[in-house]
Amino acid sequence: MEDLTSNIDKIHTTSMGAERIKRNLNLQTDDVVAWCKDAVKQADIIMGLGKNWYTYGGGNVITINANSYTVITAHKINAKVRVMRESDYECLPEFLYQAIFVPEGEKLPPRSVINIPEIFVYIKDFGTQQGDLGVVAEQNGQIVGAAWTRTIPAYGHIDSETPELAISVLPEFRGYGIGTKLMKKLFDVLRENSYKQTSLSVQKNNPAVRFYQRLGYEMTGERLDHAGHEDHLMKKDL
């Protein structure tokens, strides 16, 4: 990140690149390079992957060659969602941690919190049990979100025929519709595997409650989690 921001004056593009960027983002400026420099300065996150830099912010991603500082292209953040592969399981600890709701003003818990048995059960030996299904969202080859189900006696357990759902999107990629894409794809996967419904548990003060309701989940009960938080038990018919 420092290499890019400290060399921001080197950022440039070609005439074809400028036209491509204007078209992709519907920009109303002729100074595309100046716009790109400002976007880099205000980026939420900058990642170096392979031979390029990728800057994310304002719903856009800009691709910049790491050697020449040439802006190759820019487009709206539009993660691709696919079925989870066995090789993706290694990312589940990170997404399990990111799925933990932290109310505004409270400190993030230590990463070791996922080792609490009541939490770790959501990913322990994933892929070995019935109902272990998942999808991931990729942006420029990086997994930025995941949603998965397990039929386990956890917080959102209803019965042995109903897989419980968990979902998580990296903080920098929230607010771009990725969560909705993940959920809808996972619903399709569940239907393909003959499941009739899915459940989940969510803290009552978590804004995600409304997100789940928009996707068809209904409240069916209340429970306390391991820390004494009051949770909604929710269910969706598929």
Tell me, what CATH number does 179's domain have?
A: 3.40.630.30
- Structurally, the chain folds into a number of domains equal to 2
Cα angle vertex 23, ends 20, 29, to 5°?
100
Amino acid 2: pLDDT: 62
Residues 32 and 124 both lie in one domain: no
Residues 71 and 170 both lie in one domain: no
Residues 65 and 52 both lie in one domain: yes
Q: What does the pLDDT look like over 91-108, one tens digit per residue?
A: 999 999 999 998 888 899
Of 14, 45, 76, the position where a domain reaches its end is 76
Amino acid 48: pLDDT: 87
Rounded to whole angstroms, how far apart are CA atoms 74 and 92? 29
Of 60, 76, 92, the position where a domain reaches its end is 76
Amino acid 91: pLDDT: 96
Range of the domain at 212: 80-237
Residues 189 and 210 both lie in one domain: yes
Rounded to whole angstroms, how far apart are CA atoms 196 and 193? 9
Residue 105 DSSP symbol: T
**What confidence tier does 135 reach under pLDDT thresholds 50, 70, 90?**
very high
**What confidence tier does 15 reach under pLDDT thresholds 50, 70, 90?**
very high
Indicate whether this model's pTM tops 0.75. yes
Residues 54 and 91 both lie in one domain: no
Residues 166 and 202 both lie in one domain: yes
Of 76, 93, 123, the position where a domain reaches its end is 76
User: CA dist 137 to 74, 124, 182, 185, Å?
Assistant: 19, 21, 7, 10
Q: What does the pLDDT look like over 202-229, one tens digit per residue?
A: 999 999 999 999 999 999 998 877 777 7
Do 108 and 91 form a contact (C-beta atoms < 8 A)?
Answer: no
Cβ-based neighbour number of residue 23 at 10 Å: 10
Residues 69 and 86 both lie in one domain: no
Q: Which residues fall within 8 angstroms of residue 49, CB to CB, at 6 or more apart?
A: 140, 141, 142
User: CA dist 150 to 26, 39, 154, 166, 223, Å?
Assistant: 42, 40, 9, 9, 19
